[in-house]
Chain A
Amino acid sequence: MQQQAVEQCPVHTYSPHEPRPLGEWNAFFDRLREEAPVVRNTFAGGYFVLTRYEDILAAYQDPDTYSSEAVTVMDPDPAHRWIPHMLGGEEHRQWRRNLGPAFSPRAVSGLDDRVRQRAGELIDSFADRGSCDVMTDFAFRFPTSIFLELMGLPSGELERFMDWEADILHSRGPDPATIARQRTAALTAVGDYVSSVIRERRADPGEDLVSQALQFRFEGRTATDEELRSYCVFMFMAGLDTVAAQLGYILHHLATHPEDRRRIVDEPELLPVAVEEFLRAYSFVIPARKVKRDVEVAGCPIPAGSMVQLPLAMATRDAAAFEDAGQVRIDRTPNNHIAFGAGPHRCLGAHLARHELQIALTEWHRRIPEYRLAEGAVTRETGRSSGPDTVPVVWDRQ
């Protein structure tokens, strides 16, 4: 039996932190999928990885078994509870019901003009330069400036937020201890900043997301300052780097696939469909869950308490679910990808993210319709939801 279990669940040892040239991680994940429906990585404390669309979708749709009380494989017993992400059951449902109206497709459409203005300003700042790094000049700044806007914060805070982001998510520093220290320090700084904003809004509410959250109701009570702090810090972690990474993958694709770029410029009405395909083909988020009871996935036993990764690229690049799954077909319809996850924890910001991406790409191509990757550029990514590190592009000045 033991022997069989081992056979059914191949064991690997790889570090998801390792930077590899863009595309190599997806190719590696594709090979793991071909090898088995479940594999085990001995890295860190050891964890399982589901590799097939069907099993991954089913796991997301069963949050009682696949719990989000722990969401990183390195940290199976976390000291914190990010809101709403790490909540479950009725508590999670109530938060999502409160949050829903501000993030619904209709509410998000109402922000389009402001999103468009931010995108335009940023692109104008480098359009006549003839070159830029998509990541540092545009992709990180754009969602961060929208976030400031949504939180009702002055745009002058952008540099400060960019610094925190770099410390928290990009692990700057010479060694793991320094990286961890910087990360914790920056998270505390963001939390303290947010707490002072919460205090200000209690005294003098406005139209922003923080003021709205002060009105949330949970069976008669309102949210505590501590809950609001967790929610705001999580929004910071969930809504900035993700849009930046996705934008980086898309502009990298278009800079290296002139036929797709030309089609988007010539047929702007295709853009929403193309964005869905980019989300599918470049699904980079690798969520994880803690398994609450002994389960068996495709013959592989997974004991209660294990951490399981549900990488979205494993699902959206599965040939059993999508024709030519490894190819980008920018007019793919229908496209029921799960790049934003699935089940009750489906990305709260999905509709905002879609609008941000569509608007950013529209404004970019209006100003810079022809561009290419800078000569000799090497773009790397890690196997842990990181996005491209740099996307240097050049274009002929008008």
Chain B
Amino acid sequence: MQAHIDLNRCSGHARCAAADEEVFQLDDVGYALRAEFDVPSGAEQAARLAAASCPERAITLTD
């Protein structure tokens, strides 16, 4: 599974990091750090929760 984060939409709600702070890392201002990365196996459920929790709808997941 791949995660894509639209960094222009991200406004630092940090709900993704609340779902899994290892996978959804934040920068020092508290915004999403990485625009594109592989979701480690085992973390798919947390990634779905993160995407569904993002108030800006900035996160998309692809298989």
Q: A-side interface residues toward B, CB under 8 Å?
A: 57, 61, 96-97, 100-101, 103-106, 272, 333-338, 340, 342-344, 346, 350-351
Contact = CB atoms under 8 A, between A and B. Distances in A.
B28 interface: yes
A343 B56 contact: yes
A208 to B, nearest CB: 19
Interface residues of B, number: 20
Lowest 5 A-B CB distances belong to which pairs?
A: A100-B29, A104-B30, A334-B52, A346-B11, A334-B53
B12 A346 contact: yes
A97 B30 CA distance: 10
Interface string B1-18: 000000001011111011
Given A105-B14, A340-B13, A346-B11, A100 B30 contact: yes
29 contacts: A57-B55, A57-B56, A57-B57, A61-B9, A96-B29, A100-B29, A100-B30, A101-B29, A101-B30, A104-B12, A104-B28, A104-B29, A105-B17, A105-B26, A333-B53, A334-B49, A335-B53, A336-B15, A336-B53, A336-B54, A336-B55, A338-B55, A342-B55, A343-B11, A343-B56, A346-B11, A346-B13, A346-B55, A350-B13
Contacts of B15: 336
A349 B26 CA distance: 16
Contacts of B55: 57, 336-338, 340, 342, 346
Contacts of A105: 14, 17, 26, 30
B14 A342 contact: no
- Chain A contact surface mostly: helix
Contacts of A343: 11, 56
A344 to B, nearest CB: 6
A346 B11 CA distance: 7
B25 to A, nearest CB: 11
Contact of B26 (A97, A104, A338): A104
B11 A344 contact: yes
A350 B53 CA distance: 15
Given A105-B17, A343-B11, A346-B11, A336 B30 contact: no
A336 B52 contact: yes
Given A343-B56, A346-B12, A346-B13, A333 B49 contact: yes
Nearest to B57: A336
Contacts of B28: 100-101, 104, 106
Contact of A100 (B9, B12, B53, B56): B12
A342 B12 contact: no
Contacts of A96: 29
Interface string B45-62: 000010011111100000
A103 to B, nearest CB: 7
B11 A97 contact: no
Given A106-B30, A336-B55, A343-B56, 10 more contacts: A100-B31, A101-B29, A104-B28, A105-B17, A105-B26, A106-B26, A333-B53, A334-B52, A337-B55, A340-B55
A270 to B, nearest CB: 14
Contacts of A97: 29
A369 B56 CA distance: 36
